[in-house]
Amino acid sequence: MSGRIRLVVSDLDGTLIRSDKTLSDNVVAAMRRLSAAGAALSLISARPPSGMLWVAERLGLNGIIGAFNGGTILRTDGSILQRFVVPPAAASHCLDVLGRLPVTIWLFRGGFWHASSLADPHTPREIASTNQEPALVDDMAGFADSIDKIVAVSDDFALLAQLEAQLQQTLGAEANVIRSQPYYLDITAAQANKGHGIAALAEAAGIPLTETAAIGDQRNDLPMFARAGLSIAMGQAPEAVRLAADHVSLSADEDGVAHAIDEILMPRLAAGVR
């Protein structure tokens, strides 16, 4: 089926960003080539705005991006256009459940990052990702309002998978519960999912979803794969993510976004097909 791709929306970690949290010059150059060829570019990530704006600046983006899996839609100048938060009752329930488990709790709330521990081995990588430092909070009960994202952090992947299923069943439509990495379980507003996010980004750009391409690597990218006109998974993505995508590129550490741009997207832009 023919059709143009006019908007390309990329995930960050494990997609644009390598496993060492760097953004390669090769990927930056490829994204700029794509923009020069006429495609609109945007970003969507589980990261807070502070972890996205420097990427947008380096890529030369001047438009709309989605933080917190699309729960916060903002301009690349940092001004927020739309923000959805976790309902306080759902947040309180999650904090109570997580507080009784061997997990580190991170809260992202109003531009600040609060943590139940500063000793978690994932903290240094998150500092690099979010471009900010966490504040230690012993009791999070008073922080249940205006939360952008709660993260349960653990290297016990089975525990997080079980917790994901449990909270999804308990909270239902009250919140979005999904792992953004095997070791991160994200709890956000129900509207904060990448399916809603890519729709909001496409609407802001005045481009129909059928003319969008989504690039990602994790299960939280599946909702935008389902709504985009074209989907591309990174080579290191879990099998379920690769099977859900229209195309599979190289891994993020092999600059898979650059490969996808040169081998999949640019030829379609030139030919005017999907």
Closest listed residue to residue 176, CA positions, set 164, 159, 158, 160: 164
Sheet with 64-67, edge to edge strand ranges: 64-67, 72-75, 80-83
The whole-number pLDDT of residue 180 equals: 86
Question: How far is Cα 268 from Cα 159, in angstroms, rounded to an integer?
Answer: 42
The whole-number pLDDT of residue 84 equals: 95
15 CB-near residues (< 8 Å, 6+ apart): 215, 216, 217, 221, 234, 252, 256, 257
Residue 5 phi/psi, 5-degree rounding, is: -105, 115
Show pLDDT as tens, one digit a residue, over the chain (274 residues).
346 899 999 999 999 999 999 999 999 999 999 999 999 999 999 999 999 999 999 999 999 999 999 999 999 999 999 999 999 999 999 999 999 999 999 999 989 999 999 999 999 999 988 999 999 998 888 888 999 999 999 999 999 999 999 999 999 999 999 998 899 999 999 999 999 999 999 999 999 999 999 999 999 999 999 999 999 999 999 999 999 999 999 999 999 999 999 999 998 886 666 5
Contact 178, 163 (CB under 8 A): no
DSSP state of 50: G
265 CB-near residues (< 8 Å, 6+ apart): 5, 8, 34, 39, 213, 232
Contact 130, 50 (CB under 8 A): yes
Residue 112 phi/psi, 5-degree rounding, is: -115, 155
Q: Which domains does the chain have, with CATH numbers?
A: 7-83+192-271 (3.40.50.1000), 88-189 (3.30.1240.10)
Question: How far is Cα 109 from Cα 85, in angstroms, rounded to an integer?
Answer: 9
Question: How far is Cα 124 from Cα 165, in angstroms, rounded to an integer?
Answer: 28
Closest listed residue to residue 78, CA positions, set 106, 57, 98: 57
